[in-house]
Structure formats: C-alpha cells, structure tokens
C-alpha cells in the first residue's frame, strides 16, 4: 500500500474527512516553501499536494500561475522540487505527498528516470492534468507499476459515458473539480457538489476529494461533508504571496483543516 492508501484507510477507520493542502514548490523561494511544507502536517494537513512549476499551466488560475512564475524566476527546477521532497522526508516518513503538474517536465526527463527519482525522493502519487485516460500508457500505467498512485480529475462535464474511462486506472483517490474552469475562478457550492460526488462514488470505491473554489473554513466544512474530504490550493498560495510569516500561513491552514475535520 502507498502512504496515500494507508492515510485514507486510517481516516476512514476514524470516521474523519481528509484535508489536502496545495503549495507551489519554490514559491516564493525554496527555503520558505519548504518551511511551510514541513509545517503542514502539524497544521492538520492529511495529504500534501506539491505543485511542480511549469511555463504553461493551462488548468490554473492567476494565483497559481503567478506562483509558478515566481518559482521559475527563482530558478526552481524538477531537480530542486525532488530535493524539497527529500528534505521533507528527513523528518516525516508518513505524510503522503502528491506531485501535481504537467507532463512536459516529466517527458523531458524521461518517464523511467523520473519515476525512479520520484520514488527515491518519497513522492507517493501524481496528478498530471494534461494527460487524458487515452494516454495512460505514457505515464499512468508505468507510475502504478512503479508503486505510485495516479490520481485522476473528474469535472462537472465528466458525464456518465466518460466517467468509467476516467476511473479505470485511477488509484489513491479521485479529485473532483467542483467548478467548470480554472483554479480559483469561483466559489464551490456544496449543493452542486453533493450529487456529483454521489454519482462518482456509485462507480468507484476510491475516496472522492473535492477541490477548486474553497477559501474558508466554513466552505471547507460544507464541501468535506459532501465527500471524503477537500483540497485547498489558491487560498493558501495567496496567503503566502501576501508575504505573511510562515506561522501565520500555517494558522490559516489550521483553520481550514479544522473546518474540513469538523464535517
């Protein structure tokens, strides 16, 4: 079992919802992002999503796009991102880490080389938003053979005809995108999310985690109550971009985690 699967088994046994937090590797710099990353488990985060900076992040809204540009301007690379994970793993061998990004940097590195390095560094799963199920042989299948979960996104436009294809090689959890559009574009609505999560869960035993458009503890609680947990990204990235101290960013994360865990 991966750390992701173990964590969700534990949460299920405890009757708790998951709180997943996203941050961009290298934003505003390696030292600060690593410091925040190390503090996330203590702030109540169950799974960490670590963004891999990329020049053309088509699924991301302005907040995360700008975070990626700041990281790239600071010379952040795939190698440095993997080193962040290694540094995190020196003190934490349990918290699951999902690398979220785009295929180009992985393709450029070479899939076999990347998977070997990701495994060695301590990454547990991948979310690669620009690889559809039709391209599973590119990365999804090799990743799963290498022991990494491959997490797929379902969206409001994933209809009943498409959903089985999306789910067929997904592992770890399903990431349901609560809105149509880019990250941070609108507020998630539990009344809209609930029926969609139920539709997905009717076709899979995997946990369903909801992301996009969650900015407050109240929304985190409402959304987590409809699913197996929630993801917050843009709101956390915005807190970091505002120049707040690490302890203040982590206090904000704690408030979100408390909201999700109270569902």
Please state the pTM of the whole predicted model.
0.95
Q: What is the pLDDT of residue 109?
A: 97
Q: What is the pLDDT of residue 187?
A: 60
Q: Which string of DSSP letters, residue by residue, matches 171-204?
A: -S-EEEE-SSSSTTSS---HHHHHHHHHHHHTS-
Pick from 201, 241, 215: nearest CA to 21: 215
Question: Hey, what's the torsion of the CAs at 229, 235, 239, 241, to 10 degrees?
Answer: 130
The Cα–Cα gap between 258 and 93 comes to 23
Q: What is the pLDDT of residue 180?
A: 57
**Omega of the bond prior to 28 within 30 degrees of 0, cis?**
yes
Active site residues: 49, 60
Q: Tell me the CATH number at 71.
A: 3.20.20.70
Burial class (CB in 10 A: 0-12, 13-18, 19+), 234: buried
Q: What share of the chain is helix, strand, coil (3-state, %, to 5)?
A: 50, 15, 40
**Range of 231's domain?**
3-261
Return averaged pLDDT per consecutive 10 residues of the chain, 263 residues in all.
Answer: 97 98 98 98 98 90 94 98 98 98 97 98 97 96 98 94 96 89 55 92 97 93 96 96 97 98 96
Q: What is the pLDDT of residue 178?
A: 86
Residue 232: beta bridge partners? 21
Furthest-apart CA atoms within the chain: distance in Å: 47
Helix (H, G, I), strand (E, B) or coil at 230: strand
Number of structural domains (the chain) is 1
């Amino acid at each position: 079992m991966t750390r992701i699967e173990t964590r969700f088994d534990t949460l299920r046994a405890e009757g708790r919802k998951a709180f997943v937090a996203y941050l961009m590797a290298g934003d505003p710099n390696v030292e600060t992002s690593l410091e925040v990353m190390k503090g996330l488990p203590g702030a109540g985060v169950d799974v960490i999503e670590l963004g891999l900076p990329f020049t053309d992040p088509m699924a991301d809204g302005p907040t995360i796009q700008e975070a990626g540009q700041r990281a790239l301007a600071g010379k952040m690379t795939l190698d440095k991102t993997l080193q962040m994970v290694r540094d995190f793993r020196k003190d934490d061998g349990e918290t699951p880490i999902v690398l979220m990004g785009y295929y180009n940097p992985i393709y450029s590195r070479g899939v076999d080389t990347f998977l070997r390095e990701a495994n060695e560094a301590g990454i547990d799963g991948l979310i690669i938003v620009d690889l559809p199920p039709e391209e599973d042989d590119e990365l999804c299948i090799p990743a799963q053979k290498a022991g990494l979960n491959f997490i797929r996104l379902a969206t409001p436009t994933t209809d009943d005809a498409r959903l089985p294809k999306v789910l067929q090689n997904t592992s770890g959890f399903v990431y349901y995108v609560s809105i149509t559009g880019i990250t941070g574009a609108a507020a998630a609505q539990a009344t809209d999310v609930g029926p969609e999560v139920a539709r997905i869960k009717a076709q899979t035993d995997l946990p369903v985690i909801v992301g996009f458009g969650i900015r407050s503890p109240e929304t985190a609680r409402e959304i987590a109550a409809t699913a197996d947990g929630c993801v917050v990204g843009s709101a956390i990235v915005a807190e970091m971009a505002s120049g707040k101290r690490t302890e203040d960013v982590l206090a904000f994360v704690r408030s979100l985690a408390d909201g999700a865990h109270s569902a």
